[in-house]
Structures are given as C-alpha cells and as structure tokens.
C-alpha cells in the first residue's frame, strides 16, 4: 500500500505534545468528558479551566438530536448558545423537520399536521427550502412512511447528520474549532494523495484509504 | 327503454359508403342535441332509436359523480370493463376531487385520510401525491388546487366528469363537441382543396361543398400603366397596399397611388439616378422609399412630397441592392465589392459584412423581428444568419439562384433558380425544401417571384415568355399563365391588402395591374373591353385619354 521507502517516514519527527492535542481535540469534539479528563491528568497537560465545562451540555444536545427528540435539543441549545438557531436558519429548519418526522412516525397525525402548519410552513417562503419542505410534507401521505420514497428521513443516519451539524454549530458559536484535528488530518492526507494520483497517474502514489492504512 | 320497431330498417352501417356505424352516428347526434340544450329532443331520439347515449352503468356512474357519491362511483367504475391503468387513473382523479372538496369544507383530517388510505395505495403519480400532501398543509404553496376554489360544486363536478371522459375509452362517454369537430374537419379539407380560395369573406357553408369560382384569382388585366420610358425592372406594393412603386432602366422610379375604386394613378416620378434603378424598398411605415441604382448610389425619398431626401454612396464602389431594417431607422445595401453595409439614415455606416464572392444579384432581406439576415453567399447558396445567436443556416441549391423573397410570416423563402424552377423552402429550424413550381420561362434575365393572395396561398412569378404565372402554393398546381405583356415580365407584386390585385413589370416598358373577373363588373363601364389605360400624366377622374 505504501510505495514510499519506509525510511522516508523516519525522517519526519513528531512532537508528542502535538499528538496529545490531536487526541484531546477528538475527545472534546465528541464530548468524551471523563476520557478527556483522564488524558489531561495522565499526561500532565495544562489546559484552560472552562475547556471542559460546557462539554456535558453539548453532549446532552447531541444525544437528544441523534435520538430524534428535536424539541429538547432545541431547548438546550437555546440555553447554551442563545440566538444560535436564529443565525442558523437551515439548521433550525432541519431540527423542526426532525420533530415533524417523529410525530409522523408515532402516528400522531393531527399533531404533526398542526405542528407543520404552525412551524414548518414559515420556512417555505424561501425558495431553497421548498423542496425539503415538500419531502417532509409528503410523509403524511403514507400510512407506512418507512415504505415511502422519503424513508431516509426516518433513519438514524439522517438524524446523526443533523446532530453532527448541530454539534459543529454549537462549537463554532463558542469560538471553538468545529472539526476535530484528527478529521482534518485524514481529510488533508486523502486530498493530497488524490491530487498526486491525478497529477502523476501511475507514477504517483495511489489514493489514500484509511482502512488500508490502518490494516497495514 | 322500449324497443321500437324501426320502419327504416335496422342496418348497422349507414351512409353511401357504408362505413358509418348507425349506433355511433345516432349517439353523436344525441350528444350534440343535449349540448345544444335540446333535452327533450335528445331523450326522444334515445328512445326512438333504441340507442341510449350512455349504457346504464355509465349513466349510474355519471349520476354518482355529479352527486358526489365517491364511493359509489368508484364501485361502479370497477364494474365497467376498462384496463387496470385506466381504472387507476380514473380512480385517482375522483379521489383527488374528493380530497379537494374536503379541503374546501376545511375537513383537513378527512383529506389526510383520503390521501393516506385511498390515494397513496393506488401507487401511481407519486409526484402528485406529494404535491397533494403539501397542499393539505400549506395551500398557498401550490396553485394547482386553485381551480377548485371559488367554483360551485356542481360545475366543478361537471368539469371532473369531462376530464374523466378524456381518460376513459371514448365509446363509453361521447366526447364533448364531437359532431362539431367532425364537421370542422370536413370543412377544412374542403377549404384546403379549393385552389381558388382567394377572398377574405367567402364563408363556408354546410349545404354544399366549398368550391370557389376561378373569378377570384387575378386573371384579367384591369389597367396598363405607361409611365416609364424603358424596361421596368422592379415593382412593389407598399405595406398598406395603397401605393405601388416601380423602377426602370430609364433611371427613374415612379410612385403610383391605388385609389378607392382600385384604379391606379401616377403620384410622383422620382428622378435623380444616373443609372437604371434596380430595386426599391418601402419603409415599414410606407412614408419613405429607398431606390438603388445599378452599381451606383442609394437614394432615400419622401413619399408624400416625392423629394429625394438623401443620397448614400461609398467611395470607389457601387451599391447594388437596398432594404429597410424593420425598425425603419436603418437600412442595408449590397456593394459591388461583395460586402453588405448597414447604414443609419444620416449616412453613417454602422456595420459591414464582408462577402466571399462577386454575385450579380445581391438580394438581401431581413425578417420582421430584425434577428435574421438572409443573403446570397454563393451562386447557389443562401445564407440565413441569426445575428444574435450567431448561428448560420445554409440553403443549398443545385443551380444558380437568381432571386429570392421572404413570406410575410418570415417562415418561408421563395427561391428563383436559373433552371426555370422556383423552390419554396421552410426556413424555420433546419431548412427544408417544401415545394417546386414550374412552367414559366427564364433563360437570360433576373426574374422575380412573390407570395400573395389570401393568406399568401399563391405564388406569382414573371417569365421571359411575357406571361405572368400563378401557382397554388400548397399543391404546386399551376393555376394560370396570363398573357398581355409584349416583353419579358421581370417582377411581380401582389397587393398585401387586396388579395385580388396583382402588379407586373415588363420589358415592354409597362406595368400591368391584374384583377379577378368579378372585379371588372364594378369598373366604370366606359370601355368595351374592360381595360383602362393610364399614361404618365395625372389623370382627371372623369376623363380618360387612351
């Protein structure tokens, strides 16, 4: 998999502190509070006091969002980061849509209808939201929404992506990086290898694959 | 319904050719009677003929739809023998209407249930299903429901019935207006087959087959205009048909006035050119005239005063054609160096297109919207250039092209060829040869042809055998070859406003005006042969000098 002479890698020195920061950033991003605290104590790293303070709250928000309890997620977000949703209309729309989907899934048709009329239709005034809105609304037409063409809206993958977006937005709101360094590094390596592969063709290194890298 | 004894025999097929089914014929008539409001007559016909307009099942279905008995109508629909696809489609339409009516009455939950439990399971038209869903929640997003709002229930249900009729097999419910449609088709066929149909006010009647008499085609000389001293090369009516301009080898052009009674009289003689005048072009508002001398200059004239307002020339080269731009503020002219110039009225050259070859005739024309320029680009090819899109279309012929003219609707081009054929090309989209016209004679000179008559259904052309030729455009059929001139006929022009007036210009120094034979009866009867002459002088109404 790796076509370079392994000795090339030996020449690159890595600062241990940098590595620890990378790990820490991952833990913080995904709200692993205890693990992060353990790492800090174990390595004796110095960090500012309120680095971990809002971690719990963010964890709760993420949890409710990925479970589909959008209203709770919204409530907590309002507490932790007021005005965040006002500034992120798309995100707000997605969260409300999540709630709508929940209502439809729990067969609460009337409630879903009323909720949609009260909250969702407002977003329909902007052209780019119309298609999304139609997809949500269309769920009502099906007795078994999971068998409809929009079944992906009910899946956990979709909820996960919304939760991720919310998490990033909260981090950004607190002026923290919205992507963990680990993610960024992997993305960086992939893009560069892809570029080289395109430029040099067969002469260059093959595209980066994380799976293959981990196995080797 | 009682089964009557029919004294007329009970033949299934009727009509002289035996291709019309009695049951179909009667049902169409019955439907027409009902449409006209003759309820009793319709009912009696159904009874007397024993042929009901609708089968009992269909009758029941119609009643259920009109009553809003949706479940009943769906059940009946299932009993009628139609294909599955049609059944689903019709059911969808009925349920959609049911949903809309619920929304009208604000019964939102009922609407949702109809959608979920009845419409969606049909598994057709998923996009529409989604639209309906959005409609329920957010009616303002979709205007498609607007058709229901504000219309009374009865008429909207009737509308539904009409829509259903289009979807169901036609034998089940007779389409609205079917009898009228069949008759209109027949009338159209008759009209198109009539070669002599050349009048604005000939109406079609059902009593006899439509057949115009030949007397509407210009076929007799009604006037001979003797204003020029040499061969007359070009003639053209103004856009409003009230004036005629002619140009001649005698270096002059003449403007003639068409009087109310159809007689022409000389208005102005336009002198000033030092060379034979090749071509004339009327401004879009008919107030100005452009004339072009042979490899010389272009002159602009004011029509009411007859004065030359401006002369346009190019140093070192001669101009060989001229034509107005549709906005009336610019004009183009062909030049002896194979280029084409666009001028503004002050004499400034705005644009210049270089050509490839030296061609004798440099006919040039522009479509009414100013977008396409049609010009000669090779001896046997015409270029149609779209100025905005920069797209070029080529009309290629096998022989040299001598002249061409554009139809009024800008869609067709009439091309005169050296081999004595006139070709009609459709230039919308990819150019297609549509028709050929033959019969006239052309061997040495430029002969021009034109569109004309009622709805430009005719083609007229000059000919070297001194006759004027007229063909029926659609069929290519030669209708007339009109004798009268004593020299080659160079150019013809059909009055755009009077489909029965045609002008021809000839080497015999004269211009002839042709009209339909019916017209001659209206002329002042001072002449035994029905022909009036007019020389170059202004003529008093009451006296004619022969």
**Contact predicate A166/A58, CB 8 Å:** no
B129 and A130 within 8 Å at the Cβ level: the answer is no
**Contact predicate B270/B306, CB 8 Å:** yes
Provide the 8-state DSSP code for B503.
E
| Those residues with Cβ within 8 angstroms of residue B380's Cβ, 6 or more apart along the chain or in another chain | B396, B397, B398, B399, B400, B401
Say how far apart CA B135 and CA B116 lie, in whole Å. Answer: 14
From residue B490, give the alpha-carbon distance in Å to each of B222, B440, B485: 19, 12, 11
Q: Which residues of A touch B137 (CB under 8 A)?
A: 113, 116-117, 120-121, 137, 140
The first and second tokens of residue A25, run together, are 């950033």
Measure the CA dihedral A33/A39/A40/A42, to 10°.
140
Q: Which residues of B touch A147 (CB under 8 A)?
A: none
Q: Which residues of B touch A128 (CB under 8 A)?
A: none
Across the beta sheet with B432-438, what order do the strands follow? B401-406, B412-417, B421-426, B432-438
The first and second tokens of residue A166, run together, are 């919310």
Q: Which residues of B touch A109 (CB under 8 A)?
A: 109, 112
Q: Which residue of B has its CA nearest to A124?
A: B141
**SS3 per residue for A138-181:** HHHHCCCHHHCCCHHHHCHHHHHHHHHHHHHHHHHHCCCCCCCH
Q: Which of residues 149-208 of A touch B (CB under 8 A)?
A: 149
- Nearest CA-CA partner of B461 in B446, B383, B508: B446
Please report the number of interchain residue pairs, chain A to chain B, with beta-carbon separation below 8 angstroms.
60
Say how far apart CA B490 and CA B235 lie, in whole Å. Answer: 9
Residues in chain B with pLDDT < 50? Answer: 1, 5-7, 143, 145-148, 358, 520-532, 536-546
Per-residue pLDDT of chain A (216 residues; tens, 9 = 90+): 445 666 777 778 888 888 888 888 888 888 888 888 888 888 887 766 556 777 888 888 888 988 888 888 888 888 888 888 888 888 899 999 899 998 888 888 888 888 888 888 888 778 788 888 888 888 888 888 888 888 888 888 999 999 999 989 888 888 888 888 888 888 888 888 888 888 877 777 777 788 877 887
Antiparallel, parallel or unpaired: β B412-417 and B232-237: unpaired
B183 touches chain A (CB under 8 A): no
The minimal CB distance from B134 to the residues A137, A143, A149 is found for: A137
The minimal CB distance from B129 to the residues A113, A117, A141 is found for: A141
Antiparallel, parallel or unpaired: β B253-258 and B264-270: antiparallel
Q: Which residue of B has its CA nearest to A132?
A: B134
B144 touches chain A (CB under 8 A): no
Q: Which residue of A has its CA nearest to B117?
A: A143
B130 and A134 within 8 Å at the Cβ level: the answer is yes
Say how far apart CA B503 and CA B58 lie, in whole Å. Answer: 63
| Those residues with Cβ within 8 angstroms of residue B101's Cβ, 6 or more apart along the chain or in another chain | B68, B148, B153
B232 touches chain A (CB under 8 A): no
Q: Which residues of B touch A139 (CB under 8 A)?
A: 133
B137 touches chain A (CB under 8 A): yes
Q: Quick one: pLDDT at residue B527?
A: 38
| Those residues with Cβ within 8 angstroms of residue B234's Cβ, 6 or more apart along the chain or in another chain | B246, B247, B277, B278, B279, B280, B448, B490, B491, B505
What ipTM is given for this predicted complex?
Answer: 0.72
B2 touches chain A (CB under 8 A): no
**Contact predicate B493/B514, CB 8 Å:** no
Q: Which residues of A touch B138 (CB under 8 A)?
A: 116-117, 121, 124, 133, 137
Q: Which residues of A touch B109 (CB under 8 A)?
A: 109-110, 113
A120 touches chain B (CB under 8 A): yes
* Residue listed under structure tokens 């319904």: B1
Residue A153, min C-alpha distance to chain B (Å): 15
B133 and A149 within 8 Å at the Cβ level: the answer is no
From residue B471, give the alpha-carbon distance in Å to each of B217, B491, B516: 10, 15, 15
A140 and B117 within 8 Å at the Cβ level: the answer is no
Measure the CA dihedral B469/B472/B473/B475, to 10°.
-130
The minimal CB distance from A138 to the residues B119, B121, B130 is found for: B130
Residue B117, min C-alpha distance to chain A (Å): 7
A143 and B117 within 8 Å at the Cβ level: the answer is yes
User: If DSSP codes are grouped into helix, strand and coil, which group holds residue B392?
Assistant: strand
Q: Which residues of A touch B117 (CB under 8 A)?
A: 143
Residue B125, min C-alpha distance to chain A (Å): 12
B129 and A134 within 8 Å at the Cβ level: the answer is no
Q: Which residues of A touch B134 (CB under 8 A)?
A: 133-134, 137-138
Identify the burial level of B3 via C-beta atoms within 10 angstroms of its C-beta, where 0-12 means exposed, 13-18 middle and 19 or more buried.
Answer: exposed
A121 touches chain B (CB under 8 A): yes
Residue A123, min C-alpha distance to chain B (Å): 11
Mutate to test the interface with B, among A101, A138, A145, A148 (most CBs of B within 10 A): A138
Helices B22-36 and B39-49 meet at what angle, rounded to 10? 160
B134 and A138 within 8 Å at the Cβ level: the answer is yes
- Cα(first)–Cα(last) distance of chain B, in Å? 81
B132 and A110 within 8 Å at the Cβ level: the answer is no
The minimal CB distance from B138 to the residues A121, A135, A142 is found for: A121
Antiparallel, parallel or unpaired: β B449-452 and B232-237: unpaired
- Helix ranges, chain A (H): 6-10, 16-29, 33-43, 55-67, 70-80, 84-87, 89-105, 109-115, 127-138, 156-173, 181-200, 210-215
B129 touches chain A (CB under 8 A): yes
B37 touches chain A (CB under 8 A): no
B108 and A113 within 8 Å at the Cβ level: the answer is yes
- Nearest CA-CA partner of B478 in B130, B196, B126: B196
Mutate to test the interface with B, among A135, A137, A149 (most CBs of B within 10 A): A137
**SS3 per residue for B278-316:** EEEEECCCCCEEEEEECCECEEEEECCCCCEEEEECECC
Q: Which residues of A touch B136 (CB under 8 A)?
A: 113, 137, 140
DSSP string across B10-74: --SEESTTS-EEHHHHHHHHHHHHHHHT-HHHHHHHHHHHS--SS-HHHHHHHHHHHHT-HHHHH
Q: Quick one: pLDDT at residue B370?
A: 84
Say how far apart CA B130 and CA B122 lie, in whole Å. Answer: 13
């Amino acid at each position: 998999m790796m076509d370079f002479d392994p000795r090339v890698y030996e020449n690159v020195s890595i600062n241990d502190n940098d590595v620890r920061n990378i790990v820490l950033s991952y833990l913080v991003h995904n709200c692993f509070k205890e693990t992060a605290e353990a790492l800090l104590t174990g390595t004796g790293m110095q960090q500012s006091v309120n680095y971990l303070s809002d971690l719990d709250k963010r964890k709760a928000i993420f949890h409710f969002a990925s479970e589909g309890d959008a209203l709770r997620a919204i409530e907590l977000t309002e507490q932790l980061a007021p005005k965040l949703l006002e500034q992120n209309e798309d995100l707000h729309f997605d969260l409300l849509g999540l709630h709508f989907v929940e209502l439809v899934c729990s067969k609460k048709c009337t409630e879903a209808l009323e909720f949609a009329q009260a909250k969702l239709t407002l977003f329909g005034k902007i052209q780019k939201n119309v298609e999304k809105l139609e997809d949500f609304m269309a769920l009502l037409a099906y007795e078994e929404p999971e068998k409809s063409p929009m079944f992906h809206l009910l899946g956990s993958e979709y909820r996960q992506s919304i939760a991720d977006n919310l998490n990033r937005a909260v981090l950004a709101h607190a002026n923290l990086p919205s992507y963990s360094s680990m993610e960024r590094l992997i993305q960086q390596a992939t893009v560069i290898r892809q570029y080289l592969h395109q430029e040099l063709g067969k002469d260059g290194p093959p595209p980066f694959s994380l799976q293959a890298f981990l196995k080797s | 319904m009682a089964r009557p004894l029919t004294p007329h025999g009970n033949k299934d097929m009727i009509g002289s050719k035996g291709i019309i089914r009695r049951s179909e014929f009667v049902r169409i008539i019955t439907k027409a009677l009902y449409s006209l409001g003759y309820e009793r007559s319709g009912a009696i016909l159904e009874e007397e003929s024993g042929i009901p307009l609708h089968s009992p099942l269909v009758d029941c279905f119609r009643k259920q739809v009109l009553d809003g008995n949706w479940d009943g109508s769906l059940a009946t629909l299932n009993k009628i023998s139609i294909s599955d696809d049609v059944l689903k489609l019709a059911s969808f339409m009925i349920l959609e209407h049911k949903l809309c009516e619920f929304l009208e009455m604000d019964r939102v939950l009922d609407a949702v249930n109809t959608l979920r439990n009845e419409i969606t399971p049909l598994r057709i038209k998923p996009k529409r299903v989604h639209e309906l869903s959005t409609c329920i929640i957010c009616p303002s997003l979709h205007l498609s429901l607007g058709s229901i709002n504000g219309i009374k229930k009865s008429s909207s249900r009737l509308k539904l019935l009409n829509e259903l009729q289009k979807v169901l097999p036609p034998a089940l419910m007779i389409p609205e207006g079917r009898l009228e449609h069949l008759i209109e088709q027949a009338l159209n066929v008759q009209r198109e087959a009539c070669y002599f149909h050349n009048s604005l006010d000939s109406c079609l009647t059902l009593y006899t087959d439509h057949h115009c008499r030949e007397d509407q085609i210009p076929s007799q000389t009604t006037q001979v205009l003797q204003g020029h001293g040499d061969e007359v090369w070009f003639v053209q009516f103004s856009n409003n048909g009230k004036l005629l301009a002619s140009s001649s080898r005698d270096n002059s052009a003449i403007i003639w006035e068409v009087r109310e009674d159809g007689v022409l009289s000389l208005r102005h003689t336009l002198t000033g050119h030092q060379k034979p005048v090749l071509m004339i072009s009327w401004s879009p508002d008919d107030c100005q005239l452009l004339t072009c001398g042979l490899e010389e200059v272009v002159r602009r004239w004011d029509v009411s005063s007859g004065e030359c307002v401006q002369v346009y020339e190019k140093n070192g080269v001669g101009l060989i054609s001229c034509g107005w731009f549709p906005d009336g503020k610019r004009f183009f002219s062909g030049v002896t160096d194979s280029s084409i110039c666009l001028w503004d009225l002050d004499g400034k050259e705005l644009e210049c297109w270089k050509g490839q070859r030296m061609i004798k005739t440099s006919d040039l024309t522009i479509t009414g919207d100013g977008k396409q320029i049609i010009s000669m680009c090779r001896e046997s090819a015409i270029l149609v250039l779209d100025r905005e899109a920069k797209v070029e279309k080529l009309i290629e012929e096998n022989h040299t092209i001598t002249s061409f003219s554009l139809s009024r609707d800008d869609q067709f081009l009439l091309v005169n060829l050296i081999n004595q054929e006139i070709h009609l090309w459709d230039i919308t989209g990819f150019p297609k040869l549509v028709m050929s016209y033959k019969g006239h004679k052309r061997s040495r000179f430029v002969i021009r042809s034109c569109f004309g008559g009622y709805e430009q259904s005719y083609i007229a052309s000059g000919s070297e055998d001194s006759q004027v030729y007229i063909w029926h455009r659609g069929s290519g059929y030669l209708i007339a070859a009109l004798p009268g001139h004593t020299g080659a006929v160079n150019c013809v022009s059909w009055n755009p406003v009077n489909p029965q007036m045609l002008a021809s210009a000839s080497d015999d120094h004269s211009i002839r005006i042709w009209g339909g034979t019916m017209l001659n009866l209206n002329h002042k009867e001072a002449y035994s042969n029905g022909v009036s002459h007019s020389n170059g002088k202004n003529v008093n109404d009451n006296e004619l000098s022969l």
